[in-house]
Structure 1
Amino acid sequence: MPDRIPMVDLKEELRLIRTPLLEEITEVLDSGDYILGEKGKKLEEMVAGYVGASYGIGVANGTDALQLSLASLNVGPGDEVITTPFTFFATGETIAQVGAKPVFVDIEEETYNMDPFKLEEAITPNTKAVIVVHLYGKAANMKEIMKIAKAHHLWIIEDACQAIGTEADGKRTGAIGDIGCFSFFPSKNLGAFGDAGMVTTNHKKVDERIKKLRNHGSETKYCHDSIGMNSRLDELQAAILLVKLYYLDVFLHNRKEIARKYTENLHPSLKKPCVATGREHTFHQYCIELDRRDELALELKNTGIASAIYYPVPLHLQKAFHYLSYKKGDFPVAEKASERILGLPIFPMLTYENQNHIIATVNKFIENNGENS
Structure 2
Amino acid sequence: MAVPLLDLNAQNQKYANDLQAAFSRILGSSQFILGHEVTSFEDSIASSLGSHHCIGVSSGTDALVLALMTIGIGPGDEVLCPSFTFFSTAGCISRLGAEPVFVDVLPNTFNINVDDAVAKISPRTKAIIPVHLYGQSADMDAVMELADSHGIKVVEDCAQAMGARWKNVQVGTIGDFGAYSFFPTKNLGGFGDGGLLSVTDPELAERARTLRVHGSKPKYYHKYVGGNFRLDALQAALLSVKLDSLESYINQRRSNAEYYHSQLSALGFGDKLMLPSEADNCRHTWNQFTLRIPDGRRDDLREHLRVCDIASEIYYPLTLHQQECFQNLPDRPCPVSEQLAGECLSIPIYPELTTELQDEVVSAIGDFF
TM range (shorter): over 0.9
Q: Determine which of 77, 80, 83 is the counterpart of 1:82.
A: 80
The corresponding residue for 1:317 is 322
User: What amino acid is the match of 1:271?
Assistant: M
Measure how far apart 1:325 and its partner are: 3.5
The correspondence of residues 174-323 of structure 1 with structure 2, limited to 5 A, is 174-266=172-264, 267-268=267-268, 269=270, 270-291=273-294, 292-323=297-328
User: Is the 1:129–1:156 contact (alpha carbons within 8 Å) kept by the matching residues of 2?
Assistant: yes
The corresponding residue for 2:331 is 326
User: What amino acid is the match of 2:100?
Assistant: P
The correspondence of residues 101-140 of structure 1 with structure 2, limited to 5 A, is 101-140=99-138
The correspondence of residues 24-63 of structure 1 with structure 2, limited to 5 A, is 24-63=22-61
State the SS of the aligned residue for 1:67. Answer: helix
State the SS of the aligned residue for 1:220. Answer: coil
User: Is the 1:317–1:326 contact (alpha carbons within 8 Å) kept by the matching residues of 2?
Assistant: no
Give yes or no for the alignment of 1:354 onto 2:352: no
User: Is the 1:48–1:55 contact (alpha carbons within 8 Å) kept by the matching residues of 2?
Assistant: yes
Whole-angstrom CA distance in 1 between matches of 2:311 and 2:81: 30
Whole-angstrom CA distance in 2 between matches of 1:363 and 1:189: 28
User: Is the 1:286–1:345 contact (alpha carbons within 8 Å) kept by the matching residues of 2?
Assistant: yes
Whole-angstrom CA distance in 2 between matches of 1:6 and 1:224: 48
User: Is the 1:136–1:285 contact (alpha carbons within 8 Å) kept by the matching residues of 2?
Assistant: yes
User: What amino acid is the match of 1:30?
Assistant: G
The corresponding residue for 2:91 is 93
Measure how far apart 1:226 and its partner are: 1.4
State the SS of the aligned residue for 1:58. Answer: strand
Task: Name structure 1 gaps, 5 residues minimum.
Answer: 367-373
Give yes or no for the alignment of 1:159 onto 2:170: no
User: What amino acid is the match of 1:322?
Assistant: Q
State the SS of the aligned residue for 1:219. Answer: coil
- The worse-fitting range, judged by mean Cα deviation, of 223-232 and 250-259 is 223-232
User: Is the 1:81–1:130 contact (alpha carbons within 8 Å) kept by the matching residues of 2?
Assistant: yes
Measure how far apart 1:150 and its partner are: 0.6
User: What amino acid is the match of 2:341?
Assistant: S
State the SS of the aligned residue for 2:328. Answer: helix
Give the number of equivalent residue pairs: 362
User: Is the 1:113–1:134 contact (alpha carbons within 8 Å) kept by the matching residues of 2?
Assistant: yes
The corresponding residue for 2:140 is 142
Give yes or no for the alignment of 1:13 onto 2:11: yes
Q: Determine which of 343, 347, 362 is the counterpart of 2:346.
A: 343
Q: Normalised by the size of structure 1, how large is the TM-score?
A: 0.95
User: What amino acid is the match of 2:110?
Assistant: Y
The corresponding residue for 1:364 is 367
Task: Name structure 2 gaps, 5 residues minimum.
Answer: none
- The worse-fitting range, judged by mean Cα deviation, of 248-257 and 265-274 is 265-274
Identity of aligned residues (%): 40
Question: What is the CA RMSD across the aligned residues, in angstroms?
Answer: 1.0
State the SS of the aligned residue for 1:71. Answer: helix
State the SS of the aligned residue for 2:80. Answer: strand
Shift >4 Å, 4+ stretches: none
Measure how far apart 1:326 and its partner are: 2.6
- The worse-fitting range, judged by mean Cα deviation, of 65-74 and 259-268 is 259-268
The correspondence of residues 64-79 of structure 1 with structure 2, limited to 5 A, is 64-79=62-77
Whole-angstrom CA distance in 2 between matches of 1:18 and 1:153: 48
Whole-angstrom CA distance in 1 between matches of 2:354 and 2:194: 28
Whole-angstrom CA distance in 2 between matches of 1:81 and 1:331: 16
Measure how far apart 1:245 and its partner are: 0.8
Measure how far apart 1:52 and its partner are: 1.4
Q: Normalised by the size of structure 2, how large is the TM-score?
A: 0.96
Measure how far apart 1:46 and its partner are: 1.6
User: What amino acid is the match of 1:279?
Assistant: C
The corresponding residue for 1:371 is none
User: What amino acid is the match of 2:299?
Assistant: D
Whole-angstrom CA distance in 2 between matches of 1:188 and 1:105: 24
Whole-angstrom CA distance in 1 between matches of 2:47 and 2:160: 18
